[in-house]
Copies of this chain bind each other. A is one copy, B any other.
Amino acid sequence: MMTSTKVKPLLVNYKTLEEFKRFKEYGNQELAMLEDLESNIVENDSESPFFGVYYGSALVARMSLYRVRAKYDKYFVPPQDYLELWKLEVLPDYRDMGFGKDLVEFAKSFELPIKTNPRINSHGFWEKMGFQKANYDVERDLGENPLIWMPTGVEERNANA
């Protein structure tokens, strides 16, 4: 099995933020990072929740990861810290090269449960990565279609109980 050494934490700087513009899911998060950098609220090269894969010198895949604290956990038993994963995206010319898998394997390597809200039509990928549909609960999930992955010993919480 390949190791995930290709996956790098991404630092907040103008070069990275420029590269982010090539990704479809460019939104409030990236705009806020840019504003914070421009107004010196964050330092250049400060930590970001993003991890990426470079191909040569180009950022070709990325994801965001955030550790949600146990007291906010509504998904797992026992309640515990888990990772929210979002904006997993591989640029069109670099698909089917395993970069999406590398990123998800990297996320799993923390051995915490993971929750994501996938885009429509990506369920095949997530199923291959061992993710399963969480039981839908309108109050918790609203417009989300949450998928979860659990390391050994963790169970899904019964949201409706």
Which A residues are closer than 8 A to B by beta carbons?
24-25, 27-29, 31-32, 49, 64, 66, 84, 86-87, 117, 120, 133-136, 138-139, 141-146
Contact A146 B25 (CB under 8 A): no
Q: Which residues of B contact A145 (CB under 8 A)?
A: 27-29
Across the interface, which residues of B come within 8 angstroms of A142, CB to CB?
Answer: 64, 66, 84, 86
Residue of B nearest to A86 (CB): B143
User: Within 8 Å CB of A32, what residues of B?
Assistant: 135-136
Asked whether A139 lies within 8 Å of B25 as measured between CB atoms, the reply is: no
Q: Is the CB of A143 within 8 A of B87?
A: yes
How distant is the Cα of A145 from the Cα of B32 in the complex, in angstroms?
Answer: 11
CA distance A32 to B138 in the complex (A): 9
Counted per complex, copies of this chain come to: 2
Partner of A146, one of B28, B49, B146: B28
When the two chains form their complex, are residues B28 and A66 in contact, meaning their CB atoms are under 8 A apart? no
Q: How long is the Cα–Cα vector from A141 to B135 in the complex, in angstroms?
A: 22
**Closest CB in chain B relative to A113 CB, distance in Å:** 15
In angstroms, Cα B93 to Cα A3, docked, is 49
Residues B120 and A28 in contact, CB atoms below 8 Å apart: no
Q: How close is A88's CB to chain B, nearest CB, in angstroms?
A: 10
Given A28-B141, A29-B143, A64-B142, output 7 extra A-B contacts at Cβ < 8 Å. Answer: A25-B143, A27-B120, A28-B136, A49-B138, A66-B139, A86-B143, A117-B143
